[in-house]
Every structure is written in C-alpha cells, then in structure tokens.
Amino acid sequence: MPPRDPNSEKIIDFVVNKRNGIKGLVDAGIETVPELYILPVQERLEPNKILTTDYIPVIDVSNWDDPKVIESICQAAGKWGFFQIINHGVPLEVLDAVKEAAHRFFGLPNEERSKYWAGNSPTETVALKTSVVPQAESVLEWKDNLSFRCSPRDLESYPLWPPVCRDEVVKYLQSANPVIRKLLEVLLKGLKVEEINEAREYALTASPILNLNYYPHCPNPDLTVGVGPHSDISAITILLQDDIGGLYVRATDDDSWIHVPPVNGALVINIGDILQIMSNDRYRSIEHRVVANGSKDRVSVPIFANPGADAIFGPLPEVLESGEQPLYKEVVFSDYFKYFFSKRLEGKKAMEFARI
Ligand SMILES: COc1cc(/C=C/C(=O)SCCNC(=O)CCNC(=O)[C@H](O)C(C)(C)COP(=O)(O)OP(=O)(O)OC[C@H]2O[C@@H](n3cnc4c(N)ncnc43)[C@H](O)[C@@H]2OP(=O)(O)O)ccc1O
Ligand SMILES: O=C(O)CCC(=O)C(=O)O
Ligand SMILES: [Fe+2]
C-alpha cells in the first residue's frame, strides 16, 4: 500500500490507535467525509447500478416440513444465495432487544466501549473492531463491530462480556439456534443428505460468530462503503437488519445490485462459501455490500454459522456420488478463515483458495 497522507495518518491514529472507531469520529462532529473513507469513483454504488426489476424472495417458514417451503428455500439458495424468512419462531421482542442492545453498546462513552477493543479486551471471545484490517486498507469501511465468538466453550467467558448487551446477545443466539438447525436440515436434504450427524454438525456450525454491526450516520454515504462487496465464509449466515435499509446483493456479474428491503420480523439468510463448496456449486454464496445512511445510525446482527477451526470441508460425497467431478479440494477451516481476512473481503476471491 502507498504511504498515507498526513491527514489520513491522523485519522488512523484517532480511529484505530486511540480506539475511538468510526463512531468516535462521527461523535466528534465531522461534517465531511475524510479522504481515508472516500471510495474510487468506479467502486461506488451509483444509482444506475441498482436493479429494481427483481427481488430476493421472502419465504414463510411456519411449516418447515411443507414440500413447497423446502423447494422455495433450496431454489433461492441456488439462484440468489439470499432469501428472507418470516414466521421463523424467533420472538419479535428478542429481535428488537438485541438491536436495542447494539445501540446501547455503541452509545456507551468511548472509554467504556474501548475496553473491548481488539487486542485489549478482557476476553478474546469479544472484540471491538473497525473496518476489516484498517492498518492495511487504502479505504476504510464506515463501520465498527463488536464480535462475539459463540461456541459453547466461548460462552463460558460470558461474565467478561459487556453487561449492556450480553443477555440480549445470548438470548438471541439461543432463539436463533433452532432456525439455523432447520435451515441446514432443509438445505442438506436438497443435497441428498438425510441426516446431520455429529461430524457434519462440526463441519457446519461448531464455531458460530455473532457480530453487532454499527454504521453511524455518514455526511455523504454515496462516497463511502459500509461493508465492501464480499461473500461470507460461513456455512450460512442469519442476518437481522433494522428498518433503515442499505444492504445490497449482487444481481449479475456486470455489477448490478438488488436492495434487500427491511421486512419487520424477518431474518435475511445467505449461503456462505463453505456451503457453496460443500454443495459443489449447487448453492451459491453471493456477494453483498452495505451503504451507510445519511441521517440515521444503522445496526445489523449477523450470526455466522462457521465450521470448527480444525474442521475439514470439501464437496459432499452425496453430491458427487453420480460421478460428478469435485470443483474444490478439501480445506481446513482455519486456513480458509486466515486467507479470507488476509485478502480483505475482496469479493469472492477467497474461494480460489479451495478451487481445484
Ligand atoms: C468468521 O465468519 C465470518 C466473519 C465475517 C466478518 C466480517 C467482518 O466483520 S469484517 C470486520 C471485522 N473484522 C474481522 O472480524 C477480522 C477478523 N480478523 C482476524 O481474525 C485476525 O485479525 C486476522 C485477520 C486473521 C489477522 O490475525 P493476526 O495476524 O493474528 O493479527 P491480529 O493479532 O488479529 O491483529 C493485529 C492487531 O490489530 C488489531 N486489529 C485487528 N483487526 C482490527 C480491526 N478490524 N479493528 C481494530 N483493530 C484490529 C488487533 O487487535 C491487534 O492489535 P494488538 O494491540 O494486539 O497489536 C464475515 C463472514 C463470515 O463468515
Ligand atoms: O449489515 C448488513 O446488512 C450486512 C453485514 C454483512 O454483510 C456482514 O457482516 O458480513
Ligand atoms: Fe456479509
């Protein structure tokens, strides 16, 4: 990366080294977007790139066993890699409470919030971060996030989690778990896998991560990026968004994007790289991106259902049984994870790591 100009160095010092985050910069009253956050013109989400003639399906899952529901889920996973679900059983109060908890955490005075800064937190299962790898990025994302590692072992460090949000995080996680399980059962049934045994469960969901994403209002969101185009490395991601909007999914390879409109009580589901690989491309992990809002502070809460660190994954034998050639080799999840973050979420490039 070329050296930064002195003003960008000052911003990095304030946002990263002094642990204020982008939230701290907005609280300080900036009225224009600093150079460090301005995207090159060709990378911005211009209005002519937004497609309004198509939409991501919304699926009512009140009866998971209904063959029409199963078909809609598997079809959406193959076509869009994204869908929303309603009537999933997670109570509205639980969804609202975790979004409020995110606002409460990011509303803490900076000295309180920064106690959890990555590398300084009382437990390595919780880390407050900004952008992705800020020391190495030429343009930073307009986002801070509080990340919780959530395996049963990680949950033992609950007493060290921030009291203003930990109960709501755990409650949401517990309520979302059966939904994650059901979704995986349906999606794997679509791949001819009838039962999720212990080894499969480990390879799909042993190390979940829950993030509280915070996108403070931005003086000029058209110039910036909340989250840059990326696919998730998870098996699947369950995303709770608020009513502000700003999430876009790639519609075509020629750089057009579809908005995912907020639906009260819905969860947005997306297929991650792991399940694309396991399905040998039957399901697709699609790129998505986020634009911050000009006047409101947006929150979102993804749960990434990730394999255990040492889990080995590759195309499933059930998928290959008719003689189909595997498109991917077997990979250890922790290697994939490190590769993904070293590439700074650049689109779907991480998948090259596993491609034959
Ligand atoms: C997992 O499934 C997912 C996840 C996602 C997540 C998307 C995002 O949320 S992107 C924004 C958040 N970023 C991350 O979660 C990056 C995760 N990073 C890592 O796991 C590691 O940092 C690493 C990239 C693998 C590199 O590890 P290492 O070389 O050991 O370096 P570190 O010790 O971690 O970091 C050095 C130093 O920098 C601090 N730091 C690192 N990242 C940040 C940050 N974003 N903000 C602020 N500070 C940061 C770190 O604390 C260290 O500080 P010291 O004080 O100890 O020097 C999407 C989809 C999925 O499926
Ligand atoms: O905030 C959102 O709507 C999506 C965030 C996202 O894509 C992620 O955290 O991986
Ligand atoms: Fe994502």
Rounded distance from Cα 230 to ligand 1 centre (Å):
16
pLDDT digits (tens, 9 = 90+) for 123-165: 999 999 999 989 888 999 999 999 999 999 999 999 999 999 9
Query: 302: Cβ below 6 Å to ligand 2?
Result: yes
Residue 6 has what pLDDT? 84
Q: 102 CA distance to ligand 1 centroid (A)?
A: 19
Q: Whose CA is nearest to atom 58 of ligand 1?
A: 232
262-272: pLDDT as tens digits: 999 999 999 99
Residue 199's pLDDT is 87
Per-residue pLDDT band at 91 (split at 50, 70, 90): very high
**In this model, does residue 353 exceed pLDDT 90?**
no
Residues with CB under 5 A from ligand 3 (ion): 232
Residue 340 phi, psi (nearest 5): -55, -50
pLDDT score recorded for residue 155: 97
Q: Per-residue pLDDT averaged across 241-259, rounded?
A: 93
pLDDT at 114: 97
Q: Across residues 35-49, what is the average pLDDT?
A: 95
Q: What are the E-state strand segments in the chain?
A: 58-60, 82-86, 126-130, 144-149, 209-215, 227-230, 236-241, 247-252, 256-259, 267-271, 288-290, 298-305, 312-313, 331-332
pLDDT at 343: 64
Which tens digit of pLDDT belongs to each residue from 203-232? 899 999 999 999 999 999 999 999 999 999
Q: Is the CB of 301 inside a 6 Å radius of any atom of ligand 1? A: no
pLDDT of res. 344: 63
pLDDT of res. 4: 85
Rounded distance from Cα 230 to ligand 3 centre (Å)? 6
Per-residue pLDDT band at 339 (split at 50, 70, 90)? confident
**Phi (first) and psi of residue 214, to 5 degrees:** -130, 120
CA of 287 to the centre of ligand 3 (A): 8
**Residue to mutate, 129, 143, 147, 213, ligand 2, most ligand atoms under 8 Å from C-beta:** 213
In whole angstroms, give the CA distance from residue 211 to residue 106. 13
Percent over 70 (pLDDT), the chain? 99
Tens digits of residue pLDDT in 280-302: 999 999 999 999 999 999 999 99
3 Cα: distance to centroid of ligand 1 (angstroms): 22
Looking only at the bridges linking them, the beta strands covering 267-271 and 256-259 are unpaired
The minimum-distance atom of ligand 2 relative to the CA of 241 is 3
pLDDT greater than 60 at residue 345: no
Q: Is residue 234 in contact with ligand 2, taking CB distance under 6 Å?
A: no
Tokens at 302, concatenated: 């993804």
| Average pLDDT along the chain | 95
Instruction: Specify which residues 147 forms β-bridges with.
Output: 127, 211
145 lines ligand 2 (CB under 6 A): no
Residue 240 pairs with which residues in a beta bridge? Answer: 301
Report phi then psi at 268, rounded to 5: -90, 130
